[in-house]
């Protein structure tokens, strides 16, 4: 007797009934880039369909996303000025702080997440303070904590440290609590690899390191057990949600982290993942819509509850 799995694939209705993974607009977080100015909507060359927005245009964009059901955005700032310590990152009149206040005023229910890192704000482009030619872990913690507190003060719901310094979740939690922000959450980029898939983002956020690379703080793509160690540490330090990044090349990691943690798990479909699909589609080599949904579904199937993706808007529109 032949076993016939095809019986359950015979019609669209039947396939819908037995589908194991469903993507929802509520799973999606849209990354947005904000810069000084007014009425600015500058296209990002290597990420077709993505823009650097001034605050007013950012609020309009976020409103459009909210209206199609996207619950959350994550903000990246392009400051007016960079220096050795990234001091514009914790200024109460910094670009992200202004943007958060503007978003919360127009869209109080939108979940506003802020990326916490120094690389967009330092003149050397590294994610921490440079001392003795290298990134000084412990000296960086206080600056990250200050940045997180200033985001919370502006009204951010969740801060998302992406720097990969050791001990930063604990440092940020302590600083938030001491400043009275007990209910500001932490989404930790717990498992973040030193990935070439971030290429287009560094153009988008103007955050490329001016010397060396990020291999002394971001993870080696060859390591999986180390991902579990990083995840456990951030959970112990008080993260409310954790993230694996990038997504599609790390589905095994998403699955393994899912299995050891009870926390909501996010995955970041990063700039290079988006750019590859856009470029192939622009050449007529791939069906963009189908590849977009196939990759998002794969990330969900691997175990992600939340997906940060530049496709958020396109996917949400098509899911309506
Ligand atoms: C900042 C940061 C990066 C990304 C998110 N936060 C860049 C990096 O680590 O170099 C990458 C996001 C993307 O590629 O879409 N540290």
Report residue 37's pLDDT band, with 50, 70 and 90 as the boundaries: very high
Q: What one-character DSSP code corresponds to residue 249?
A: G
Rounded to an integer, what distance in angstroms lies between the CA atom of residue 268 and that of residue 271?
Answer: 9
Can you tell me which atom of ligand 1 is nearest the CA of 272? 14
pLDDT tens digits, 237-275: 999 999 999 999 999 999 999 999 999 999 999 999 999
Q: Which domains does the chain have, with CATH numbers?
A: 21-319 (3.20.20.70)
Q: Where are the alpha helices (DSSP H) in the chain?
A: 12-18, 55-67, 95-106, 137-154, 168-178, 199-204, 225-237, 251-260, 271-282, 288-302, 312-319
- Catalytic residue among 26, 82, 104, 192, which? 192
For all residues of the chain together, what is the average pLDDT?
97
The predicted structure's pLDDT at residue 320: 86
Give the residue, by CA position, lying nearest to ligand 1 atom 10: 198
Q: Output Rg (C-alpha) for the chain, integer angstroms.
A: 20
What are the pocket residues of ligand 1 if the criterion is a CB atom closer than 6 Å to any ligand atom?
A: 115, 117, 119, 127, 162, 198, 201-202, 207, 214, 270-271
Rounded mean pLDDT, 279-296: 98
Whole-number Å distance, alpha carbon 198 to ligand 1 midpoint, is: 6
Rounded mean pLDDT, 7-30: 98
Residues with Cβ within 8 Å of 187's Cβ and at least 6 positions away in sequence, in order, are: 113, 158, 159, 160, 239, 240, 241, 242, 243, 266
pTM for the complete prediction? 0.98
Rounded mean pLDDT, 142-150: 98
Q: Tell how far CA 112 is from the center of its chain.
A: 12
pLDDT tens digits, 178-237: 999 999 999 999 999 999 999 999 989 999 999 999 999 999 999 999 999 999 999 999
Q: Exposed/middle/buried for 259, CB within 10 Å: 0-12, 13-18, 19+? A: exposed
Q: Is 192 a catalytic residue?
A: yes
Rounded to an integer, what distance in angstroms lies between the CA atom of residue 32 and that of residue 77?
Answer: 9
Rounded to an integer, what distance in angstroms lies between the CA atom of residue 154 and that of residue 105?
Answer: 11
Instruction: Say if residue 78's pLDDT is above 90.
Output: yes
Q: Six-digit token pair at 163?
A: 């720097």
Report residue 86's pLDDT band, with 50, 70 and 90 as the boundaries: very high
Report residue 163's pLDDT band, with 50, 70 and 90 as the boundaries: very high
Which residues sit opposite 135 in a β-bridge?
130
pLDDT tens digits, 88-134: 999 999 999 999 999 999 999 999 999 999 999 999 999 999 999 89
């Amino acid at each position: 007797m032949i076993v016939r799995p095809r019986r359950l694939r015979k019609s669209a209705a039947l396939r819908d009934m037995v589908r194991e993974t469903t993507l929802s607009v509520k799973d999606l977080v849209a990354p947005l880039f904000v810069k000084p100015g007014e009425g600015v909507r500058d296209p990002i060359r290597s990420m077709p369909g993505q823009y650097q927005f001034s605050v007013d245009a950012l609020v309009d964009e976020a409103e459009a996303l909210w209206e199609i059901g996207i619950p959350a955005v994550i903000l990246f700032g392009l400051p007016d000025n960079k220096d050795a310590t990234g001091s514009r990152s914790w200024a109460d009149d910094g670009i992200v702080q202004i943007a958060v206040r503007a978003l919360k005023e127009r869209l109080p229910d939108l979940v506003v997440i802020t990326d916490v890192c120094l690389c967009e704000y330092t003149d050397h482009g590294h994610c921490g303070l440079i001392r003795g030619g290298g990134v000084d872990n412990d000296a960086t913690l206080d600056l990250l904590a200050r940045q997180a507190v200033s985001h919370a003060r502006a009204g951010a719901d969740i801060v998302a440290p992406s720097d990969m310094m050791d001990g930063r979740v604990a440092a940020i939690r302590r600083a938030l609590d001491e400043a009275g922000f007990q209910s500001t959450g932490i989404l930790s980029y717990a498992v973040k690899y030193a990935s070439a898939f971030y290429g287009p983002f560094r153009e988008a956020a103007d955050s490329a390191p001016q010397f060396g690379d990020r291999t002394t703080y971001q993870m080696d793509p060859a390591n999986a057990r180390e991902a579990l160690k990083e995840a456990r540490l951030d959970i112990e330090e008080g993260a409310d949600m954790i993230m694996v990044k990038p997504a599609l090349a790390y589905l095994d990691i998403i699955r393994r982290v899912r299995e050891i943690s009870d926390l909501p798990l996010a995955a970041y479909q990063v700039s290079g993942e988006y750019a590859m699909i856009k470029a192939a589609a622009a050449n007529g080599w791939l069906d963009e819509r189908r590849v977009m949904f196939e990759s998002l579904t794969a990330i969900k199937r691997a175990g992600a509850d939340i997906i940060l993706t530049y496709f958020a808007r396109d996917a949400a529109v098509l899911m309506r």
